[in-house]
Structure 1
Amino acid sequence: MPSIPGAVRRTVMLTAGIVLLGACGGEGGSPSGAAAEKGGAGYPVTLENCGRTVTVEAAPHRAVSLNQGSTEILFSLGLADRLAGTATWTDPVMKGLEEADAAVPRIAENQPSSEKVLDKEPDFVSASFESTLGKGGVAPREQFEELGVPTYLSPTDCTAKDNTGSSDGSRTKPLTMESVYDEVHDLAEVFGVTERGDALVAGLRERIETATADIDASDTTLLYWFANSEAPYLAGCCGAPGIITEELGAKNVFDDTHEEWPQINWETVADRNPDVLVIGDLTRKSQTAESAEKKIEFLETNPATKNMDAVRHKRYVLLSGQAMNPTIRTVEGVERVAAGLRSFGLAG
């Protein structure tokens, strides 16, 4: 990853771009004209975000979103025209957002360099994971902020979470959808579209209520497999899969670990013998057995797993990677797992 000093030559251009963009008109009640030069009505916006105070002087018009989860929130808020670029995708874009996605350049399918991000002259940068805006990621938050670019990190990755150990971190207490809703409200406030944020959250809450109505899965055990067949990443108790499990009243067979995605051997998985396997259907190619098809092929031929109850009865629920991360698509996860349990006769 290029160091920021190599990009300092852009500082004057970047700062000038932010001032000029702040003077442009925009939809959703964004400021225009002389008022925008002073930030406009409702600005500056100041947020407490993952232990940092973030101040946004004017509604962003050239934002860059560095993770798919953050990007899909911004698209869902109708902000595609305020984005200069996106990056780090694991799945096809959420249904209904294809037009927005097509209108915004992808800086990189995976993690971009800081130089490529700065080439977009961003006036705001958002990310879903601390690793994206930390050492070894695109660039630490401080480096963007030194250039006058405010940054935002999803509270789902810092609320009651320790990211100092393994790459995926561990939870000190279970995550809830409230952290996702907080992210929606924060981003809506930053962009000056708070009513859209309220409407989006209300819709997500309603979908969960509908999906979980009259369901009783208290006698059902689940296992969540995100990626990798050689050393599989399986869900611990308390991340996004924990939200799904809790909403349905079921039990995660690995709820005794607080690691986000511990790597657990297949013999231990077979010993836990879950009723249902929730399988990540990813389109990326950075691990072994990314697609659901490859995962199922492995499960049905591996000596350690082929005799598990869920495998013999083909009790599989397929989810996008984003539904297994703490995002607005976690709601999609609740809906699909609920539908799967009902189809298997395991919903009470």
Structure 2
Amino acid sequence: MKNFGLALAVALLSSSAALAEVSVQSCNRTVEFDGVPQRAVSNDSNLTEMMLALGLQENMVGYTGVSGWRTLDAELTDKVAVLPELSPKYPSKEVLIGADADFYFAGWNYGMKVGGEVTPETLEPFGIKVYELTESCIHLGEKPKVSMDDMYNDLLNLGRIFGVEARAEALVQSYRDELTQFKAGLKTSDTPLRVFVYDSGEDSPFTAGRYAMPTAMIEAAGGTNVLDTLEKSWARVNWEAVVEANPEMIVIVNYGEVTAEQKREFMLNNPAFAELDAVKNDRFVTLEYAEATPGPRNIKAIKKLAAAFWGN
């Protein structure tokens, strides 16, 4: 009986240890966790909203990279009110270390720069684990074309990291079901609507390419990104490429000092764009920053796009 009891205790301890250890794929790395992060930091509004959508605010010590550019969804501000913003833009390594962070949820060009001061490698010696936004992995090498699964993958991985798998799975399934039901009733045309994403810039536009979330959202709404062949996520292009593609609809991303209305007026009043179908017919739709980037607002944003594209 003593031997049986000892064996049972060992088995229970081994089982407990196995449950405590989690590994997830983060871009080209496997990240292992031997416990649930207790002092997490998220960067950017959309990544912070992912954390909040999973109810993880009690595991967070703060967030970064929001007020320097944009604001949080009004529906979620109450949840984040108890958390400090540690840096208005990208945090320095010192900011994260000073907050005694044990986890950083960011992405490439979403709080980290390739070869920059803050990376998984530079934070590892300080015990700060990093999970990278899936959409941003293209900055490190090849990845599949963007899809809604990029966003779902991040929520599911966060669920595993923070021990709320069931919550994450339920949330993702609700998104999948909502989108499937919506698309089943969506009335479009046989030819996808030609769409250009205008993020910012007058001399040369900053736009969404093949690996940026708006491409997947536009397709879900019955359109096609006219710069789908651009082997980038978010990047600058020449206006000539936009004119040649002749979009029928322009999606404006609203954030920063230049308002969505100012961006629209720039295109409407520039003779270079006068012959674009979207300009001639004044067909514009605005997405807020957190709607256009991977996060909890993507499904509602697809519905907004479809309403502008097809009137349903």
TM-score interval, normalised by the smaller of the two chains: 0.7 to 0.9
1:59 aligns with 2:36: yes
State the 1:188 CA deviation.
1.1
Distance across 2 between alignment mates of 1:49 and 1:42 = 20
Quick check: 2:136–2:233 contact (8 Å CA) kept in 1?
no
Give the Cα–Cα distance (whole angstroms) in 2 for the partners of residues 256 and 225 of structure 1. Answer: 16
CA contact (8 A) 2:221 2:303 kept: no
Residue aligning to 1:270? 243
Matched, 1:309 2:277: yes
Instruction: Give the secondary-structure state (helix, strand or coil) at the position aligned to 2:198.
Output: strand
Of 232, 240, 248, the match for 2:213: 240
Pairing of 1:103-252 with structure 2 (within 5 A): 103-129=82-108, 132-135=111-114, 137-158=116-137, 161-163=138-140, 173-212=144-183, 213-219=185-191, 220-252=193-225
TM-score normalized with structure 2 length: 0.85
Q: Given the two structures, how large is their TM-score scaled by the length of structure 1?
A: 0.77
Task: Report the Cα distance in structure 2 between the residues aligned to 1:128 and 1:39, rounded to whole angstroms.
Answer: 31
Distance in 2 separating the partners of 1:257 and 1:135 = 20
* Residues 242-291 of structure 1 deviation map (CA, whole Å, 9 limit, x = unaligned): 20122133222222322223423334323322111111111x24xxxx32
Question: C-alpha separation between the residues in 1 aligned to 2:125 and 2:294?
Answer: 29
Cα pair 1:46 1:56 within 8 Å, conserved: yes
Distance (whole Å) between structure 1 residues aligned to residue 308 and residue 238 of structure 2: 25
SS of corresponding position for 2:123: helix
Pairwise CA distance, 1:155: 2.2
Offset of residue 114 of structure 1: 1.2
**Superposed CA offset, 1:197-255 (max 9, x none):** 01211222133224423332442211111111221112223421220122133222222
Point out the structure with the larger strand share: 2
Aligned identity (percent) is 27
Counterpart of 2:61?
Answer: 84
Return the alpha-carbon distance in structure 2 between the equivalents of residues 234 and 134 of structure 1.
Answer: 19
| Structure 1 residue ranges without an equivalent (≥5) | 1-37, 165-170
Q: How many residues align?
A: 295
Which structure is higher in helix share? 2
2:139 and 2:123 map into 1 onto residues whose CA distance is 23
Deviations 1:153-198 (A, max 9, x none): 122222xx2447xxxxxx6541111121111011111111111101
Q: Matched residue of 1:339: which SS?
A: helix
Larger deviation, residues 305-314 vs 81-90: 305-314
Instruction: State the match for 1:45 in structure 2.
Output: 22
RMSD value, Cα: 2.5
What corresponds to 1:293 in structure 2? 261
CA drift at 1:308: 2.4
Match of 2:73 in 1: 94
